A and B are shown apart, each in its own frame.
Chain A
């Protein structure tokens, strides 16, 4: 197949000429050698109030593994300091699963033979009403990455409807230009999460053979464009396991850290998905992480940026999610359906799921589970102004 240059922007893609964030992230990722850390580096990192990227690198290294319990204790202390026992609840709403990309690890990949669907305005409203009835006040809107099927105005309309039912609206959609983000902010969106998947540009190139998503730098700079467009917060995440997960976690933290320095008001959050078995796993060269390794990554994010929001995916089992929530995570989804049109009772999904979820609990079940652990579920902590 004749592949395009994945480092070259397409003509309509905005370039942030003066920004060096990407170059810095990639250079630091390249330099990061997790084998050089020793126990003393971990002790130093744990003893600090304000940690550097160097400390973060140490906490992600194999030398940190014997300290996992101490790291968890420190992480819990930081989480408590910044969030107390609050735990924010939300649910994702998949608006569409049309996609123009062929990411080899994804269930929505355009070559997958799945049922495709897109919610119309009245269906969006019905779905949102039934989600709001569960008591949730924060929603995350997702689409497959098809600008043709789910254009910016379609997403904007969904934001406008969401504003009527919810107090906080997040987006997890394809990367776009600053002015598009500004438009969606006007429509009511508050934060934008973009998964870089992997920060290794060669692996990225292999896994994204075509489509707009193939353009690596345009995706990597999405958060910066979103902030320039006026978004309040931005979320980061690598799909851990696609490439060397320590390096990808290091790059994810570095990316967030550098952007927060450049845009000090930005609210930062991390999502922590890891590769789970799907039909296509055979063609991916990465490796699956153990739970202990995933926990190590989450704890390192917490200690690097104690004020950041951290979400644990429904790809993880309830046992893992609930425990991590008491230590480092601050946000948990509930009542999740990754299909299209799956939130109303007696309503059959019209589109297939992106991935299988491991935690299928309802909003009230998660709410009770949090209360039992001494945590205070919070439906809203935000005012759109």
Chain B
């Protein structure tokens, strides 16, 4: 971070200094704690459907105190199901944060924006801190903001694809136009892509598959942490412009005024 500058963001009345939201799916439970530590994450997502278990190995037991739980509604196919899953999360003691995911496509797992807006509206009224996962569309993002979302979580690429920022231009529009934290949620496959998104000015990054499928999970969590911090610092420092074709004369068109 830049010296002397306090850099944090607020969600649901809580202050976060880490901009790395870690996913907890797709890898062994006994690595979750190490991944959180090496990521320096202050927020971790978990699928309610997976936490809702009597099994001796429960993910909830792996999450250190002080880390904010972000239960997600994965498995929901419409707004009503998402609402019910969110309420279940509350009953399970997961707190008031919820990442709304409504998906009715089992192949690409693309979010359904209109159902997500409906669910956000209901849950925000019930006092949840709603963080909706969405396809980056400006109109939908505005509706989500109006419905009471605490942040907007656009996808960078299809979930689990590790393809990076395929929706970059549309995420940039959300950053420019929406007065809520923009958190890139899916598709980030490598630390350099996380860094690139942070340079653009997104508030935070959520990563799961890229870490879960790494050979060394804690080490990859650490690599992402550094990349996210580097990207954030670059954003705050102000990136220089890119000169596309060679050097640029200072005033090629208006220089005549000084002749």
Contacts and interface: CB of A to CB of B under 8 A. Distances in A.
Given A260-B107, A385-B81, A380 B162 contact: no
A381 B162 contact: no
A264 B104 contact: yes
A378 interface: yes
Nearest to B75: A383
Nearest to A263: B106
A277 interface: no
Interface stretch (A2-10, A97-105, A148-156, A265-273): A265-273
B206 to A, nearest CB: 16
Contact of A379 (B26, B27, B47, B53): B53
A291 B85 CA distance: 42
Nearest to B213: A80
B47 A265 contact: no
A385 B85 CA distance: 7
A378 B49 CA distance: 11
Given A380-B52, A382-B49, A81 B161 contact: yes
Interface stretch (A24-32, A83-91, A173-181, A214-222): A83-91
A234 B112 CA distance: 22
Given A81-B161, A84-B209, A383-B75, A267 B50 contact: no
Interface in A121-145: 135, 137
A268 B26 CA distance: 19
A307 interface: yes
A52 to B, nearest CB: 13
Given A85-B27, A137-B55, A264 B105 contact: yes
**Interface majority SS on B: helix, strand, loop or mixed?**
loop
Nearest to B82: A385
A381 B213 contact: no
B56 A135 contact: yes
B49 A376 contact: no
Contacts of B109: 307
Interface string B167-179: 0000000000000
B160 A380 contact: no
Nearest to A379: B55
B106 A264 contact: yes
A267 B106 contact: yes
A193 to B, nearest CB: 16
A381 B56 CA distance: 15
Given A267-B106, A307-B109, A86 B26 contact: yes
| Most A-side CB within 10 Å, residue of B48, B50, B88, B162 | B50
Among the interface residues B57, B106, B160, which one has the most CB atoms of the partner chain A within 10 A?
Answer: B106
B62 to A, nearest CB: 11
Interface string A66-102: 0000000000000011111110000000000000000
A86 B47 CA distance: 13
Given A85-B27, A307-B109, A265 B52 contact: no
B161 A167 contact: no
Nearest to A135: B55
A233 B28 CA distance: 26
B26 A83 contact: yes
B104 A383 contact: no
Interface string B55-77: 11100000000000000000111
Given A83-B26, A86-B25, A135-B55, A380 B49 contact: yes
A376 B81 CA distance: 27
B28 A85 contact: yes
A376 B213 contact: no
Interface string A360-380: 000000000000001111111
29 contacts: A80-B212, A81-B209, A81-B213, A83-B26, A84-B25, A85-B28, A85-B212, A86-B25, A135-B54, A137-B53, A137-B55, A167-B52, A167-B53, A260-B107, A264-B105, A264-B106, A264-B107, A265-B77, A265-B103, A268-B106, A307-B106, A307-B107, A377-B57, A379-B53, A379-B54, A380-B49, A383-B52, A383-B75, A385-B80
Interface of A: 80-86, 135, 137, 167, 260, 264-268, 305, 307, 374-383, 385
The 10 closest A-B pairs by CB, nearest first: A84-B26, A265-B104, A379-B55, A383-B49, A385-B81, A84-B212, A385-B84, A380-B53, A264-B105, A376-B28
Given A84-B209, A381-B47, 10 more contacts: A84-B25, A264-B104, A265-B77, A305-B107, A307-B109, A376-B29, A380-B49, A381-B50, A383-B85, A385-B80
